[in-house]
Amino acid sequence: MQTQELARGFADPVLEAQGAFRAAMWALSRPGQPQELTTELVPPAPLSPEAAALALALCDYETPVFLDAALAAERAVADFLRFHTGAPITEDPGEARFAIIANPMELLDFSQFSPGSPDFPDASTTLILQVAGFAGHGFMLEGPGIKGRIGFGATPLPGDFPARMAANRALFPRGVDLLLAGAGQVAGLPRSVAVKGA
Amino acid sequence: MSGMPEISYNFAYLDEQTKRMIRRAILKAIAIPGYQVPFAAREMPMPYGWGTGGVQVTAAVLGPDDVLKVIDQGADDTTNAVAIRGFFEKTAGVATTTATTQASIIQTRHRIPETALAENQILVYQVPIPEPLRFLEPRETETRQLHALAEYGLMHVKLYEDIARHGHIATTYAYPVEVAGRYVMDPSPIPKFDNPKMDDCPALQLFGAGREKRIYAIPPYTTVRSLDFEDHPFKVQRFAKPCALCAATGVYLDEVILDDKGGRMFVCSDTDHCNTRQAQGHRGEMAAPAGEAA
């Protein structure tokens, strides 16, 4: 039997978790405006350091985590998350409170995840999407947290992304919330935001 | 006493699992503006009604670089404010301030500061009863469904009955608002004078109700509309006189009884605003003359 060294978690769990949460909080408060998120984590590939920091800050035994095909293919990713967060890894996206997506181009349809119920719209999945960066202004965003409207871009995203976000917005107050984790940054697209192709 | 273990706390008192649970609730609250997210509020080392909800929200958000201000009815120097400020000085070692402009987090009981809030600031409200429909419908299962269906007729009936009885909407505090065109929300018992400050506010507004175990939020730059009728539009109270100490107008004033012969004065409820103005040389009719001020 082979043993593998487990990548380490936060060096300072209290303050690093607080920092990652604050970045996520401002990201969802200001949709489409990337917030700084620095971390020294070196998680097993293809899990990105930023996505790992968000997972370690927010997940625990109360939050089943769904991994996309790219992440599920690497056992070390599930082992890393299980060890550091205690979160159960689920194969059912509808049961997941968090879903981590390493390959946004093959993102499952939002309807596969939990949108919450009319009585409890908060019981919905939060998607953590790993993106390369926030380039361009391919989309126009409007909604709570945005003064007027702003341009937003992230790559890679599926071509029908605005249509998917529109379908998600139509469910409001139900729906999924997105955290996009790029290099050193995190941007939020909560269900309240209206995304239009520019 | 040697040998006694020194008692220490986790940063900001709460354990990390509790913080994660509260943080997840805050994120959902921000994503669904005005919706009350249930959370597993903990017992805090202070009685219910003294801001246990606000304290838990502040503890979950707070970082070592934050500068904290705490106000109780606008004042920095009342028991509740002093106690909570001391609590976080002791358990988190954060810097505290009384200046609204210096603070990154402001925890408040029943007021919004007079000084306009800025981006990057977080206003944490202490909330006694988060459900705006509670006194109209006591059953949680029913109010939850009313929110799900956006069925807010009851609230309009209540405001209408005010008009029928008093000739005007007589609700003066905890005046219900509609957030981002969807949820009707209780703004906590702030005077309705403060309601317009919530609309399109650059700061993030978080609400914590400890006993009732609810967290809700208003993201920055969000439309917050006080409920009203076309023929009875929402109006805030006006004061006949300026502040007796700093001569400010257009601010919320507290009545102070001076003697048993009907003597009274009206002064700013926001102590930081009043002190700042007095330091700038503004003098109200009952202020000590310049030079004599303590």
pLDDT of A170-192, one tens digit each?
999 999 999 999 999 999 999 99
| Helix, strand, coil percent values for chain B (each to nearest 5) | 30, 20, 55
Q: CA nearest B108: which of B35, B146, B173, B57?
A: B57
pLDDT tens by residue, B251-276: 999 999 999 999 999 999 999 999 99
pLDDT tens, position by position, A71-110: 999 999 999 999 999 999 999 999 999 999 999 999 999 9
SS (HEC) of B146-197:
HHHCCCCHHHHHHHHHHHHHHCCCCCCECCCEEECCCEEECCCCCEHHHHHH
Average pLDDT over residues A57-81: 97
Is residue B50 assigned to a domain? Answer: yes
pLDDT confidence band for B289 (50 / 70 / 90) = confident
Amino acid symbol at B10: N
**Confidence (pLDDT) at B291:** 58
Determine the pLDDT at residue A1. Answer: 52
Residue B231 lies in a domain: no
| Burial degree of A54 (CB within 10 A; 0-12, 13-18, 19+) | buried
Burial of B113 by CB count in 10 Å (0-12 exposed, 13-18 middle, 19+ buried)?
buried
pLDDT band at B249 (very low <50, low <70, confident <90, very high): very high
**Which residues are registered as beta bridge partners of B289?**
none
Q: What percent of chain A has pLDDT over 90?
A: 93
Percentage of the residues of chain B whose pLDDT score is greater than 90: 93
Nearest CA in chain B to A86: B17
Answer yes or no: do B115 and B190 share one domain: yes
CA distances for B7 relative to A73, A115, B10, B90, angstroms: 46, 44, 10, 12
Are B74 and B269 within 8 A, CB to CB?
Answer: yes
Residue B69 shares a structural domain with residue B137: yes
The confidence band for B288, taking pLDDT boundaries of 50, 70 and 90, is confident
Mutate to test the interface with B, among A10, A12, A16, A18 (most CBs of B within 10 A): A18
Q: What is the mean pLDDT of residues A43-65?
A: 97
B20 and B55 in a common domain: yes
Q: Is residue B76 part of a domain?
A: yes
Q: Are residues B220 and B245 in the same domain?
A: no
pLDDT tens sequence across B166-222: 999 999 999 999 999 999 999 999 999 999 999 999 999 999 999 999 999 999 999
pLDDT at B1: 47
Q: Is B137 helix (H, G, I), strand (E, B) or coil?
A: coil
DSSP 8-state secondary structure symbol assigned to residue B101: G
Residue A136: band (very low, low, confident or very high) from pLDDT cuts 50, 70, 90: confident
Q: How close, in Å, is residue B31 to chain A by CA atoms?
A: 5
Whether residue B70 sits in one domain with residue B96: yes
Q: How many CB atoms lie within 10 A of CB A48?
A: 21
What is A13-197's CATH superfamily? Bacterial phosphonate metabolism protein PhnH (3.40.50.11310)
CA B245 and chain centroid, separation: 24
pLDDT at B4 over 70: no
To the nearest whole angstrom, how far is the Cα of B116 from the nearest Cα of chain A? 16
Is residue B89 domain-shared with residue B55, that is, in the same domain?
yes
Q: Is the residue at B221 inside a domain?
A: yes
Percent over 70 (pLDDT), chain B: 96
Domain borders along chain A are 13-197
Q: What is the pLDDT of residue B8?
A: 80
pLDDT surpasses 50 at B244? yes
Closest approach of chain A CAs to the CA of B97, in angstroms? 21
Q: So what's the pLDDT on residue B5?
A: 62
**d(Cα B12, Cα B261) in Å, to the nearest integer?**
48
Quick one: pLDDT band at residue B69, thresholds 50, 70, 90? very high
Q: Are residues B56 and B122 in the same domain?
A: yes
Over residues A2-29, the mean pLDDT reads 93
- B4 inside domain: no
**Nearest chain A residue (CA) to B28:** A122
Q: How far is CA A55 from CA A16, A25, B75, B210, in A?
A: 12, 14, 39, 26
| Most B-contacting residue of A10, A15, A25 (CB-CB within 10 A), to test interface | A25
**How many Å apart are CA B217 and CA B229, to the nearest integer?**
25
- For residues A103 and A137, the model is more confident at A103
Q: On the CB side of B191, how many CA atoms lie within 13 Å of its CA? A: 19
Annotation marks residue B34 as catalytic: yes
Angstrom CA distances, A23 to A16, A35, B19, B182, stand at 11, 6, 15, 26
Average pLDDT for A35-62? 97
Please name the residue that has the structure tokens 């937003």. Answer: A152
Look at residue B140 and tell me if it is in a domain.
yes
Q: Write out the two tokens for B209.
A: 């109700």
Tell me whether residue B46 is exposed, middle or buried, using C-beta atoms within 10 angstroms of its C-beta: 0 to 12, 13 to 18, 19 or more.
middle
CA dist A115 and A177 (Å) reads 9
Nearest CB to B220 within list A18, A30, A63: A30
Instruction: Give the tokens for residue A129.
Output: 């999407």
Q: Which of B226, B254, B273 is the last residue of a domain?
A: B226
Q: Where is the domain boundary, B179, B204, B226?
A: B226
The pLDDT of residue A196 is: 87
Reduced to 3 states, what is the DSSP secondary structure of residue B233? Answer: coil
pLDDT(B2) > 60: no
Span B130-136, mean pLDDT?
96
Instruction: Tell me which chain A residues have a C-beta less than 8 angstroms from the C-beta of B146.
Output: none
Helix/strand/coil percentages in chain A, nearest 5: 30, 20, 45
Ramachandran area for residue B245 (φ above 0: left; ψ -120 to 50: alpha; else beta): alpha
CA distances from B115 to A131, B74, B198, B201, B242 (A): 39, 11, 13, 12, 17
Q: Are residue B179 and residue B261 in the same domain, yes or no? A: no
Q: What pLDDT shows up at residue B82?
A: 96
Domain match, B110 and B130 both: yes
The residue out of B201, B226, B251 marking a domain boundary is B226
Q: Is B201 among the catalytic positions?
A: no
Q: Which domain holds residue B282?
A: 238-288
Residues B166 and B283 placed together within one structural domain of the fold: no
On whether both B143 and B242 belong to a single domain, the answer is no
Distances in Å between the Cα of A123 and the Cα atoms of A45, A76, B31, B173, B277 are 29, 28, 12, 31, 47
Sequence-ordered strand ranges (E) for B193-247: 204-209, 214-218, 224-226
CA–CA distances in Å: residue A17 to residues B21, B127, B239? 12, 26, 47
Stated pTM of the model = 0.96
Cβ separation of B62 and A122 shorter than 8 Å? no
The SS3 call for residue B276 is helix
Structural contact between residues A52 and A41, judged by C-beta atoms closer than 8 angstroms:
yes
What's the rounded mean pLDDT across residues B105-110? 97
Active-site residue, from B51, B54, B208, B243? B243
For residue B247, the model assigns a pLDDT of 96
Same domain, B194 and B278: no
Amino acid identity, position B144: R
Would you place residue A2 in the very low, low, confident or very high pLDDT band (cuts 50, 70, 90)?
low
Q: pLDDT for B138-172, tens place per residue?
A: 999 999 999 999 999 999 999 999 999 999 999 99
The chain-wide mean pLDDT, for chain B, equals 94
Domains in chain B: how many in total?
2
